Structure 1
Amino acid sequence: MSIEVPQEDLCSIERLNHDQSAAFRCIMNTIDRRESGVFFVDGPGGAGKTFLYRAIIADLRSKGHIVLVTASSGIAATLLPGGRTAHSRFKIPINAEPSSTCNTSKQSDLAKLIRQTTAIIWDEAPMTNKETMKSLDRTLRDILENNNPFGGKVMVMGGDFRQVLPVVPKGSKSQMISASIVKSHLWAFTKILHLRQNMRSLNDRDFAEYLMRIGDGIEPTICEDLVQIEVGMAIPWEGEASLHKLIEETFPNLQSHGWDASYMVERAILTPKNHDVQQLNDIVINQFPGDERILASFDEVEGDTNNLYQQEYLNSISTGGLPPHMLKVKKSAPLMLLRNIDPKAGLCNGTRLLCRGTFQNMLDKKSFSASDKTFIRKQFPVRLSFALTINK
């Protein structure tokens, strides 16, 4: 109730386009009639999903209603007022099973809050495993003693199935689709609300249509299902020299923009694989002005009293969610946070930061398990972010 409603969000209701306005009315009419309902706002990136969410949130909160605003990722959550990750808000198990429930008792403060809640918003829902969604559904039905989907609450999900689906480690395409929320029994109760107008690409309609054809799988392909990139968008591959040309195109006059935050926030190189991210970041940081500082991690295996694992091997371990063993930084270099430290302040897994200095005594650890052993790396929970993966 203490969350302030931005005036610009209230005014945005009058600026909704046709599709947004239709979706807004459909959701608000369900709430006004005190009915239950499950909605999915479907639209490509740039279609104005966040704009619509903020209008709904502002309208409800201005009338004294409680709205729980969540997203599948920390970065998406920071774009919405009072946003939290769904796992954090509802205490959803990290690895949800077919019979999992959230770690929330019927007598808890969270349960009391849920009972008073008018609507729940969950952005980037297609990234979520269907078992995660079912865990929340099972919990809400129990807390609210209501057997309707999500305990009879109005649930507004949204996202774009053309983007990132649930991650299934080493999974096939069919396994990722099987883990998607469209394969959940809850999908049969969901009303789809389409946003078709790309608000970001109003001045380049051809490019917007090109992206949609790729996302819908109807763009003509060449051998091995490759999509032909338009000539004006591509740099011909001529070995490593092409990487340097790509860097120069993305970060022109890098030497003279050492402390320019506006310059850094507007650009990054995207690539599918962490290996390529590391390679590109290594090249760019060497070109970046200023004195470098190399921060080495301390790696160990929990309970390895006999030193069965050599330090060289432990230092060589590199996974997507782990900071590197040798972290090379310079003042004003862009970094990416690798864990949720303070979501309310915008410090989430995926937040991009500028390095203002380094201090030896501020360390954190990031752990993961391999078979029955736990690997521990003590290191600043950041990576360079001149380049980053498309999932981030």
Structure 2
Amino acid sequence: MTVIDRKESMIFFVDGPGGTGKTFLYRTILATLRKAGHIAIATATSGIAATLLPGGRTEHSRFKIPLTPNASSTCSVSKQSDLAELIRRATIIIRDEAPMVNRCALESLGRKFKDIMEINLPFGGKVLILGGDFRQVLSVVPKGTMAEMIDACIVKSPLWKNVKALHLKQNMRSINDEEFAEYIQRIGDGNEPFIMDDLIKLPPSMAMQWEGHHSIYNLIDQVFPSLQEHANDARYMVDRTLLTPINDDVEQLNAKIISQFPGDEFTLHSFDEVEGDNNHLYQQEFLNSISPGGLPPHILRLKKGAPIMLLRNIDPKAELCNGTRLICRGCFNNVIDAEILTGQYSGTRVFLPRIPLKTIENVHLPFVMIRRQFPVRLSFALTINKAQG
């Protein structure tokens, strides 16, 4: 706040383990500055983290950062645009979950800010607050080596030498369970003793005995107790989810839970094609079998009352962003009736259309596939990356 009052420039990094109050801090700063008439831009790398900030957007959506940035890429914001004018007028820019983003994205944003502000200072002299926790999910390099993952980190960026780190240490979320907070901290710092192959032993109170394949259903019952009775309960759905690292596991868990869910099932098929494939070289069956992360499944099975997650930015002003969680209230051939579960628009009813979605470069397909489908997937289970924040 002193830096803002003196009209100086500075880049801060708010470092704190999960639960130390980073989001609370951002919300307080945003409220204080906006009340004083300042313009504050709130962004985050992951969709869920963005919906927790008032007026929050994913940074790729807000600043037009390329989805697969490289060392020379730039954000597609023209100097004459309304967005460029918003950046000029903004007092502060907050970027939550910054360690998740590739450093090339941060550097491309730095170059664009310099260009817009016409000031040769880091980020054009703007006050920037980066936040996150390096113990959590870092930037994903598909099939990357350890060296490539470390090189993609923002600490390896030349901009990092200009960053002032601030540390949050007390875990507010588990203030009544200090033992658990210390245990999580030891894992994050790499101080918890290993058994073998980098595996740690979980306390019995946190683990379930493996008793064959049926244990998966026991886990589902633990996380979603009395599921049949809470089929249309929005609060029940938003308070619980299953987390797993891999997309394939998410699909299997969602398929198991939707089969137990009460009500009539709606089966919605996508139409898939290859961009520029006028000779139809690729069979529909083959295209239907492809299920890259970020695209909805070919066969989308929904039921009234099931939780779903949006996979694209449809209307960011109304918080219909990538990562927004909704509950299905009705299903038709060309539209899904849904209710927003989180954020300031919680409880708002929206209609979601089918849209064409393209695969991106890092999927490593020899062609660009276009899938015409509803941009949603079930969210009983999520990947850890998608739930970050």
TM-score (norm 2): 0.90
Distance of 2:233 and 2:88 partners within structure 1:
47
Equivalent position of 2:368 in the other structure: 374
Q: CA deviation at 1:342?
A: 1.7
Which of 381, 384, 389 is the matching residue for 2:378? 384
Match of 2:48 in 1: 75
In structure 2, relative to structure 1, the CA distance for the partners of 1:338 and 1:110 (3 Å cut) is closer
The yes-or-no answer on 1:348 pairing with 2:321 is yes
2:376 alignment partner AA: V
Q: Structure 1 unaligned runs (5+)? A: 1-27
Deviations 1:42-68 (A, max 9, x none): 011111111111111122222222222
User: What does residue range 59-74 of structure 1 map to in structure 2 within 5 Å?
Assistant: 59-74=32-47
Change in CA separation of 1:291 and 1:112 when aligned onto 2, cut-off 3 Å:
closer
TM-fit CA distance, 1:371:
5.0
RMSD, aligned α-carbons: 1.6
Is the Cα–Cα contact under 8 Å of residues 10 and 127 in structure 2 kept in the other structure? yes
Report if aligned partners of 1:78, 1:344 keep a CA contact under 8 Å in 2.
Answer: no
The answer (yes or no) to whether the contact 2:57–2:321 under 8 Å persists in 1 is: no
For the pair 1:147 / 2:120, whether they are aligned, the reply is yes
Q: Deviations over 1:109-135 (max 9, x none)?
A: 333332222211111111111111111
Paired with 2:76 and 2:285, the residues of 1 have a C-alpha distance of: 40
The structural deviation recorded for 1:218 is 0.9
One-letter amino acid of the structure 2 residue matched with residue 113 of structure 1 = L
Specify which structure has the higher proportion of helix: 1
2:358 is equivalent to residue 364 of structure 1: no
The corresponding residue for 1:160 is: 133
Q: Which has the larger radius of gyration?
A: 1
Change (3 A) 1:64 1:380: same
Segments of 5+ residues of structure 2 without an aligned counterpart are 336-353
Question: SS at 2:136's partner residue?
Answer: coil
Partner residue, 1:105: 78
CA distance in 2: counterparts of 1:275 and 1:176, whole angstroms: 22
What is the one-letter code of the residue matched to 1:383? R
Partners of 2:118 and 2:72 in 1: how far apart?
Answer: 18
Structure 1 runs of 4+ aligned residues shifted over 4 Å read 369-372
Q: How far apart are residue 39 of structure 1 and its match?
A: 0.3
SS of match in other structure, 1:245:
helix
Secondary structure, counterpart of 1:222 in structure 2: coil
Match of 2:231 in 1: 258
Q: What letter matches 1:351 in structure 2?
A: T
Contact 1:127 1:166 in 2 (8 A): yes
Q: Aligned residue for 2:221?
A: 248
Among candidates 111, 116, 132, match of residue 138 of structure 1: 111
Counterpart secondary structure, 1:114: helix
Q: Secondary structure at the match of 1:324?
A: coil
Q: Does 1:182 align with 2:173?
A: no
Higher relative contact order (CA 8 A, sep 6+): 2
Q: Which amino acid in 1 is paired with 2:214?
A: A
Q: CA deviation at 1:372?
A: 5.0
1:46 and 1:199 in contact (8 A); partners too: yes
TM-score by length of 1: 0.89
Q: Distance in 2 between matches of 1:97 and 1:347?
A: 28
CA distance 1:104–1:261, change in 2 (3 Å): closer
**Does structure 2 conserve the Cα–Cα contact (< 8 Å) formed by 1:365 and 1:377?**
yes
Partner of 2:204: 231
The alpha carbon displacement at 1:314 in A equals: 1.4
Query: Which residue pairs with 1:274 in the alignment?
Result: 247
- Counterpart secondary structure, 2:91: strand
How far is the alpha carbon of 1:336 from its aligned partner? Answer: 1.4
In 1, Cα distance between the equivalents of 2:208 and 2:379? 21
- Asked if 1:43 corresponds to 2:37, the answer is no
Question: How big is the shift at 1:391?
Answer: 0.9
Call closer, same or farther: CA 1:345–1:106 in 2, change over 3 Å: closer
Q: Which is worse superposed, 362-371 or 46-55?
A: 362-371
Q: 105-114 or 287-296, which moves further after superposition? A: 105-114
The residue matched to 1:356 in structure 2 has which SS? strand
1:346 Cα offset (Å): 2.1
Question: Equivalents in 1 of 2:256, 2:285: separation in Å?
Answer: 23
What CA distance in whole angstroms lies between the structure 1 residues aligned with 2:20 and 2:280? 55
